Amino acid sequence: MITELFSTTVLIGILASGIRLATPYLYAAIGETFSQKSGVLNLGVEGQMLLGCFAAFYVTFTTGSLWLGLLAAIAVGALMGLAMAFVTVNLRAQQGISGIGFYLFGLGMSDLLFQRLMGTVETVQGFPKIYIPGLSEIPGIGEIFFNQNILVYGAYLLVPLAWFVLNKTTLGLKIRAVGENPDAADSLGVNVARVRYFTIILGGILSGVAGASLSIALLNVFQQNMTSGLGFIAVALVYFGAWHPVGVLGGALLFSMVNSLQLWVQVLGIPIPSDIAVMMPYVLTILVLVATVSRVRAPSALTKPFERDE
Amino acid sequence: MRSKLSTLFDALLPVIATLAALAVGTVMLLLLKVNPIEAYAALWDGAFGSANSFAETLVKATPLLLVALGICISFRGDVINIGGEGQMIVGAVLATWVGLTFTEAPGWLIIALALVAGFVGGGIWGGIPGVLKAYFNVNEILSTVMMNAIAVQLMNFLLRGPMIDPAQAELASKIPQTARLIDEFHLARLAPTRLHAGALIAVVLAVVVYILLWRTIWGYRIRAVGQNPHASRYAGIKVSRYMVLALLLSGAFAGLAGAVQVYGVNYRMITDGSASGFTGSAGFNGIVAALFGQLHPLWSIPASILFGALLVGANKMQRVVQVPSALITVLNGLVVVFVVSSEIWRHRRQRRRLAAAGEEEAQPKPDQPQVQKEAGQ
């Protein structure tokens, strides 16, 4: 049965679902990369995702418009980001802990709204697969890369875009300066608070989209606590990817490929207990963190609130 | 006089934060078209209305307090442990295994061994991220999250496989649970309610942790490392070792919470496949309680009772006014956000005090001597 894993159809299946599964991680982790690059650890990603998940699903379910659903997730994510920014920038609250608070808030709020507004698990028709003439027809490759829905494509386009913004634009320079040495950035006239507001809200928006990608593009349902730790893993992937969008992409792909592999192992009925198989991506992530992280330095001002000397 | 007033104000900050959260809760209840007075009355009644409901509150508060004690240690050492859920699970697994394996031994011995097993199991699960942080520079937030996920799968595997209740194993729809512990192994009940000796153990341990943190050299070093790892290193403290110790102890208390949950409440390990299915999210809510208690083991006692009350009261509120108990999770989140946000006022006043003191004495006393004394040992 093990040999079945290596047949072409199964391999293509594993790779295609691996590519798809990486989507929510990519959105959330790229967003988190921005906020961490500017020196803010946002641990509330999971809560933002859950609310985005629900908002997207509920609006799509009631209006029938996927785009309105996505917009709702963006709005909710932005609002959560705004609150987080106020608490961490203006009130200079400890970031890790306030993140846990925002997580609990999102967890409870999405559950509460779900029970009040819907009550039962429903399904929607999610974003359809987009067929790209030519590319989608390439054997194997087409099936793996070019037979996905728009949010999946968006997630992968986000990676080079994030790299470009962070490394090749003035905005990116400001973000990195604020994360490395806010005092120096401030003395050069960079508005530290404004930069951090921008990155935290951007992070919130992308977390919201990550949630939407689950509820209206990949799974097309909403259930209580349906992200089940996905947002926390997205935070982990930022460390894993050493605060570099391409590294984050590598981490997200590794994680979701192993995840996809274990799903197929179960589908094919290979006798590995499913609970043990599900454990594998997490074990692997820890092992890779052990092997890589020690060489990379975090942004110097990460988790440190900025205060102007007066 | 003024310093007394401001100490009082500091102590009141969490209370103000809670009131603020309750105020937001009121607005939410109004939006849900529920009479807030009725809802909060149901909450209060559910938590404190009778001896039984108060006992339930204390039963819920017990794991919160145990987890919170561990959190006091790790957060004081500036390591953030959000792996309480996983640590509870692993502690409970080991403790349950003890009780199901040695059925011939006397009850007191097994209970003692099981509690130790829970402590050790949680300690291992917290110690691993500790080692990873101290020696491999792996961020503990990430590793504890990962360890949570691994623990959940481990629990599901064991409860569906090797450790499953023989009675369930024969059924078609198997509930993931272990066999029931024999009656001799149950923690003693304290009153004709569900209140059990675990609550007492937790309170005693709160005093122990207080002594550990403020009256022993290990506690002193954990706090020193938490406040300034660089200065501690210069002072000759083995920083890595105390980081591991902080996380290990933190995990151990969570593991003990898991063991107490099995031996005091459920008498078996049971889950619905998620972490909270066994822990009731005590691994997370314990963090909230510890923060609310300002990371002080003794203040964590009333804090845990408060959050235990909220959790128990929420069920009653759900029954009486049909507000989903998820509202309480929302309020817990808000309390955390408000408490950490309110710290700014404390810091401001502290600085003003220092500035005032600095003007009175030309040279303010630096903190250095304390650390130097440490180096001399």
A117 shares contact with chain B (CB less than 8 Å):
no
A80 shares contact with chain B (CB less than 8 Å):
no
Choose between B315 and A31: higher pLDDT. A31
A284 shares contact with chain B (CB less than 8 Å):
no
Contact assignment for B145 to A111 by CB distance below 8 Å = no
> Interface pTM (ipTM) of the complex?
0.89
CA distance A133 to chain B (A): 41
Nearest to A112 among B149, B160, B326 (CB): B326
Q: Which chain B residues touch A96 with a CB distance below 8 Å?
A: 80, 141
Instruction: Look over chain A and give the mean of its residue pLDDT values, rounded to a whole number.
Output: 89
CA distance B34 to chain A (A): 12
How confident is the model at residue A76, as a pLDDT? 97
Contact assignment for A116 to B32 by CB distance below 8 Å = yes
The rounded distance, in Å, linking the Cα atoms of A95 and A39 is: 10
How confident is the model at residue B366, as a pLDDT? 45
Q: Which chain A residues touch B336 with a CB distance below 8 Å?
A: 97-98, 100-101, 104
CA distance A119 to chain B (A): 11
Choose between A32 and A13: higher pLDDT. A32
A233 shares contact with chain B (CB less than 8 Å):
yes
Tokens 């309610």 sit at which residue? Answer: B193
Task: Count interface pairs A-B at CB distance under 8 A.
Answer: 150
Contact assignment for A97 to B80 by CB distance below 8 Å = yes
Task: Look up the pTM and report it.
Answer: 0.88
CA distance B190 to chain A (A): 33
Going by pLDDT thresholds of 50, 70 and 90, the confidence category of residue A294 is: low
Contacts of A76 (CB under 8 A, 6+ apart): A48, A51, A52, A55, A208
- Residue of chain A minimizing CA distance to B143: A286
How confident is the model at residue A309, as a pLDDT? 65
How confident is the model at residue B342, as a pLDDT? 84
Answer yes or no: are the C-beta atoms of B67 and B88 closer than 8 Å. Answer: yes
How confident is the model at residue B375, as a pLDDT? 38
The rounded distance, in Å, linking the Cα atoms of A203 and A48 is: 9
Answer yes or no: are the C-beta atoms of B94 and B121 closer than 8 Å. Answer: yes
Mutation site for B-interface testing, chosen from A103, A222, A276, A282 by largest number of B Cβ within 10 Å: A282
Instruction: Tell me the mean pLDDT in the region A197-223.
Output: 95
Answer yes or no: are the C-beta atoms of B188 and B112 closer than 8 Å. Answer: no
pLDDT at A217 over 50: yes
Structure tokens given for A103: 């997580």
Backbone φ and ψ for B189, nearest 5 degrees, come out as: -80, 145
Structure tokens given for B127: 């110690």
Choose between B84 and A233: higher pLDDT. B84
Structure tokens given for B321: 């006014």
The rounded distance, in Å, linking the Cα atoms of B316 and B53 is: 10
Q: Which chain A residues touch B288 with a CB distance below 8 Å?
A: 100, 104
Q: Left if phi > 0, otherwise alpha if psi is -120 to 50, otherwise beta: which for A228?
A: left
Contact assignment for A101 to B156 by CB distance below 8 Å = no
Which of A147, A116, A123 lies closest to A216 in space, CA to CA?
Answer: A123
Quick one: chain A helix, strand, coil %, rounded to 5? 75, 0, 25
Q: Which chain B residues touch A282 with a CB distance below 8 Å?
A: 146, 149-150, 153
The rounded distance, in Å, linking the Cα atoms of B58 and B64 is: 10
The rounded distance, in Å, linking the Cα atoms of B274 and A23 is: 23
- CA distances, A303 to each of A28, A89, A166, B291 (Å): 18, 11, 19, 18
Q: Which chain B residues touch A239 with a CB distance below 8 Å?
A: 138-139, 142
| B 215-274 near A (Cβ less than 8 A) | 274
Backbone φ and ψ for B136, nearest 5 degrees, come out as: -120, 5
A111 shares contact with chain B (CB less than 8 Å):
yes
Structural domain of B182? 2-375
How confident is the model at residue A97, as a pLDDT? 82
DSSP B324: -
CA distance A212 to chain B (A): 21
The rounded distance, in Å, linking the Cα atoms of A47 and A26 is: 16
Nearest to B146 among A47, A92, A236 (CB): A236
Structure tokens given for B237: 């403290």
Q: What is the CATH classification number for the domain harbouring B334?
A: 1.10.3470
The rounded distance, in Å, linking the Cα atoms of A217 and A209 is: 10
Contact assignment for B153 to A100 by CB distance below 8 Å = no
Instruction: Tell me the mean pLDDT in the region A120-142.
Output: 84
The rounded distance, in Å, linking the Cα atoms of B371 and B365 is: 13
Nearest to A104 among B137, B161, B332 (CB): B332
Q: Which chain A residues touch B32 with a CB distance below 8 Å?
A: 116
What percent of chain A clears pLDDT 90, i.e. is strictly above it?
Answer: 56
CA distance B133 to chain A (A): 9
Contact assignment for B132 to A289 by CB distance below 8 Å = yes
B330 shares contact with chain A (CB less than 8 Å):
yes
Contact assignment for B137 to A109 by CB distance below 8 Å = no
Compute CA A159 distance to the chain's CA centroid, rounded to the nearest angstrom. Answer: 12
B336 shares contact with chain A (CB less than 8 Å):
yes
How confident is the model at residue B100, as a pLDDT? 94
pLDDT at A103 over 80: yes
Going by pLDDT thresholds of 50, 70 and 90, the confidence category of residue A64 is: very high
- Residue of chain B minimizing CA distance to A280: B150
Q: Which residues of chain B have pLDDT under 70?
A: 1-3, 358-377
Contact assignment for B335 to A101 by CB distance below 8 Å = yes
Backbone φ and ψ for A24, nearest 5 degrees, come out as: -60, -35
Q: Is B117 exposed, middle or buried (0-12, 13-18, 19+ CB in 10 A)?
A: buried
The tally of domains found in chain B comes to 1
Quick one: chain B helix, strand, coil %, rounded to 5? 75, 0, 20
How confident is the model at residue A253, as a pLDDT? 93
Collapsing DSSP to helix, strand or coil, B295 comes out as coil
Structure tokens given for A74: 């963006």
Structure tokens given for B377: 């040992």
Mutation site for B-interface testing, chosen from A286, A292, A294 by largest number of B Cβ within 10 Å: A286
Mutation site for A-interface testing, chosen from B33, B158, B307, B329 by largest number of A Cβ within 10 Å: B329
The rounded distance, in Å, linking the Cα atoms of B279 and A107 is: 16
